[in-house]
């Protein structure tokens, strides 16, 4: 009887230890949709270099991920496409101090056959179907900043005239890219890194001149309350030379 009790006690103790260890080796990451391809490769490389750690990636618009964090989602890391949303979480005491790990720039994309014949930003005032991300989505905010910068140069209510052609507002940059790739819109603003996605052959990119462009900063932070021992390891990996090389391969700066 004593042996059975001791055996059961041993299972109970080691069972709890195993469960804790398993949780420590699971890493849940919330990442902006524009990081889909690069973070998939980062996660794979990280797992290869850290055997036993499993990375689970969840992608969405930064504004959606912020809401999930505010609602108490169980996750370890948040990688955001702008500072405003992540700083709001810092102020609420929900995440630790964020670090910049990459930068991005906007491009204008049109369908591969470019039926509207769009060649420059000036052409957007013509009767074309424009798709943008919602204003609260980082790329949607940046897109509207680009239009305002062009208006400062060209005048003539340029931004308002362009927005009159708006046929859809999307919740993520990937949705914008998909709409254009499918020919459901004549043009849309995405990140330069989106040209490295599986839709790159279905769109043409029109560069946004640097004087009109907006640099997007990407921030990574750990959620307060995360008990994953791997969280800081992954953040350090993203900031390392190897991690930065992977991001650079997808066009991040």
Predicted local confidence at residue 231, as pLDDT: 96
Predicted local confidence at residue 140, as pLDDT: 97
Rounded CA separation 189/124 (Å): 11
Domain with CATH 3.40.190.10 in the chain: 2-103+217-249, 106-207
CATH code of the domain made up of 106-207: 3.40.190.10
Predicted local confidence at residue 12, as pLDDT: 34
Predicted local confidence at residue 86, as pLDDT: 96
Tokens of 19: 């469960």
Which residue is it, tokens 């490295």? 196
Predicted local confidence at residue 6, as pLDDT: 36
Phi then psi dihedrals of residue 38, to 5 deg: -65, -40
Spatial neighbors of 90 by CB under 8 A, at least 6 apart, are 96, 97, 98, 221
Which residue, 25, 34, 86, is CA-closest to 222? Answer: 86
Q: Which residues of the chain have pLDDT under 50?
A: 1-22
- The predicted model scores a pTM of 0.84
Architecture of domain 2-103+217-249: 3-Layer(aba) Sandwich (3.40)
């Amino acid at each position: 009887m004593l042996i059975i009790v001791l055996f059961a006690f041993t299972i109970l103790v080691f069972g709890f230890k195993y469960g804790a260890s398993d949780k420590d080796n699971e890493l849940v990451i919330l990442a902006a949709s524009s990081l889909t391809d690069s973070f998939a490769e980062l996660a794979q490389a990280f797992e290869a270099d850290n055997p036993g750690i499993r990375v689970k990636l969840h992608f969405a618009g930064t504004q959606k991920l912020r809401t999930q964090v505010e609602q108490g989602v169980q996750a370890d890391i948040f990688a955001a496409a702008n500072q405003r949303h992540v700083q709001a979480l810092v102020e609420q005491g929900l995440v630790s101090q964020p670090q910049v790990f990459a930068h991005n720039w906007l491009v204008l994309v049109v369908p591969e056959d470019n039926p509207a014949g769009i060649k420059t930003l000036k052409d957007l005032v013509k009767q074309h179907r424009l798709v943008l991300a919602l204003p609260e989505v980082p790329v949607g905010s940046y897109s509207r900043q680009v239009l305002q910068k062009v208006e400062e140069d060209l005048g003539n209510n340029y931004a308002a005239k362009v927005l009159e052609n708006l046929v859809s507002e999307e919740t993520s940059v990937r949705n914008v890219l998909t709409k254009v790739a499918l020919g459901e819109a004549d043009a849309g603003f995405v990140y330069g890194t989106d040209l490295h996605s599986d839709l790159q052959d279905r769109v043409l990119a029109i560069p946004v001149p640097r004087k009109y462009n907006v640099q997007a900063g990407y921030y990574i932070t750990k959620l307060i309350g995360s008990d994953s021992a791997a969280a800081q390891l992954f953040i350090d990996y993203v900031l390392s030379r190897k991690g930065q090389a992977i991001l650079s391969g997808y066009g991040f700066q």
